[in-house]
Structure 1
């Protein structure tokens, strides 16, 4: 099945929206950290920088815990607009404690877009992919990791890729 593309105005395959929602919900259960320190934030941020540089991606990267920015960088090609998108997507993921992409996709289940709802403040929030909460097992969401600069599903998938790699490396090092 072709994956749902939230950036497309074209008709999409039946069930593709639900399939993408299911994939993201599965990622939430998979991407559980045993803890999340400032060193973990640095390692995750540096991995995202490495991936971005290797692929010449014009992205900005942010890791925030509450009001504290733990990591923030703009790679070549990123623009000042990416800063707005980072903050808006980060606020969405922090507010709802799910990936910002999932907020937007769940809004589409009702046949529209969450952005079209009068109560959704687009000056502060963005229900576009790219910000994912950091979930600590037994605690819940403790921080957010956000990427901006690519189409929204690609922003989301890059964060997932990096989180998986950090978790895989921690497991290989004997971490719980």
Structure 2
């Protein structure tokens, strides 16, 4: 199974029964802890229906990380798919979001690190974004934390070894 298909499986399995500000706080803190354990730094943003519920810019991040969060979040808010999946799909099709939708790169980034916040039986209601690691790592830390939080086996959801 390739990364695009694996991300589709992640999006299918990593869904919440319910979500609120308390859930966002727990998720955000789990992400912060996971990134710290990697000896890394990132900006973390969780929004639901356009409302910010959690934001933390770790020491060592810059306003550029916040800009990447915004641009990746715009992709998920527009297409309801992981920004990494969209980027991989566009790469496979040898095209860009600008070519497909006419959007400006200054407002959209099809790089890994924004995952749709999905409620079962409702669909995408928000976004979970990390910016500061390499794009695949931004994506993978979100998936690992969600898998743990939602009691899903990470072994079935983790991306394979990247192809060179």
Q: 4+ residue stretches of structure 1 with deviation over 6 A?
A: none
Aligned to 1:96: 79
The 8 Å contact of residues 62 and 71 in structure 1, kept in 2 or not, is answered as yes
User: Of residues 83, 97, 108 in structure 1, which corresponds to 2:66?
Assistant: 83
Deviations 1:135-174 (A, max 9, x none): 11100011100000011111000111111111129xxxxx
Kindly name which structure, 1 or 2, has the bigger radius of gyration based on alpha carbons: 1
Q: Structure 1 residue 117: deviation in Å? A: 5.5
Aligned to 1:26: 9
User: Of residues 111, 114, 131 in structure 1, which corresponds to 2:97?
Assistant: 114
The 8 Å contact of residues 129 and 156 in structure 1, kept in 2 or not, is answered as yes
Aligned to 1:72: 55
Partners of 1:67 and 1:30 lie apart in 2 by 23
So what's the TM-score if we normalise by structure 2? Answer: 0.86
RMSD of the TM alignment (CA)? 1.7
* Larger relative contact order (Cα-Cα within 8 Å, sequence gap ≥ 6): 2
Q: Structure 1 residue 26: deviation in Å? A: 0.9
Partners of 1:73 and 1:80 lie apart in 2 by 12
The 8 Å contact of residues 57 and 77 in structure 1, kept in 2 or not, is answered as no
User: Of residues 105, 109, 123 in structure 2, which corresponds to 1:140?
Assistant: 123
Structure 1: unaligned runs, 5 residues or longer: 1-17, 170-176
Secondary structure of residue in 2 paired with 1:47: helix
